[in-house]
Amino acid sequence: MKTDTRLRIRQIVEDRGPQRPAELVKALGISAQALHRQLKLMVEQGTLIVQGKPPRTMYALAGVADFSRAFEWLDKKTLRENPKDTVCETRDVLTARLSPLKNLTKQGLSPEDLPLLISTVGEIGNNSFDHNLGQWRDVPGCWMEVQVTGNRLWVCLADRGQGIYGSLSKTNKGIKSDQTAIETAFEKFVSGRAPEKRGNGLKYVKNTILGDADRGIACISGSGVVQYGNWGSDCESVLKKKFVTVRGTVTLMVWRLG
């Protein structure tokens, strides 16, 4: 019976994301005392981790990234200002925040992977500015957040712009859907900024991810979705727990540490 309760707790947290104890009590129909006994055991076993402090304590799956703040920011109907700690409101701010990524080598990122990570993060982030000039939904900027869980490094980038279809369809009339647009962006040499001969960036990102078995990437823009790499399905799973469609673009990458 206790094992069944722990399995139910795990399933709820996996499906819904980090949960407060009160939410779990309501979902499970058990007492707070019984719940806390199970939560304590699951933390000791390494199944769950504790986030925050009372009275805002939440329980999340160990080893799984939590980008709920990014997803809430992206999903809000309107915004008047950005959180300064995670949103790069200009390209200069984005560039400045790439430099501290070198400290990730202390957490297990190989020195050989560091320049590849910086270049792929920079490429995706720069796309937010290249393709959304004057086209932001409200506030400009690119959300950039890094998390480390176990032996995995996760990077989330998102913007509240016009989306990949909105950008590419202006200069590529053959693009008729969000899915075609996102596949084209990652797999072909195209540009949403005529008459510039650009468009190699996201193909470079894809090829970098495919260059190692322990990497992955997923991206959603509008209703279009792509994922690449052996761990791409893990990234897609995290995104799809929140989104079916995205107004703008959200990308999640994962790299192995150690």
Phi, psi of 80 (to 5 degrees): -105, -25
Amino acid code (one letter) for 29: G
pLDDT of 191-223, one tens digit each? 544 444 445 789 999 999 999 999 999 999 999
- Cβ(220)–Cβ(158) under 8 Å? no
For the entire predicted model, the pTM comes to: 0.79
**What's the pLDDT score for residue 193?**
47
pLDDT of 13-56, one tens digit each? 888 888 999 999 999 999 999 999 999 999 998 888 888 888 88
**What's the pLDDT score for residue 2?**
56
Q: Which residues, given as ranges, of the chain have pLDDT below 70?
A: 1-3, 189-199
- In this structure, the number of other CB atoms found within 10 A of the CB of residue 17 comes to 18
What are the chain's domains? 2-61 (1.10.10.10), 68-256 (3.30.565.10)
Rounded to an integer, what distance in angstroms lies between the CA atom of residue 95 and that of residue 119? Answer: 10
Positive or negative, the Cα torsion across 59, 45, 155, 15? negative
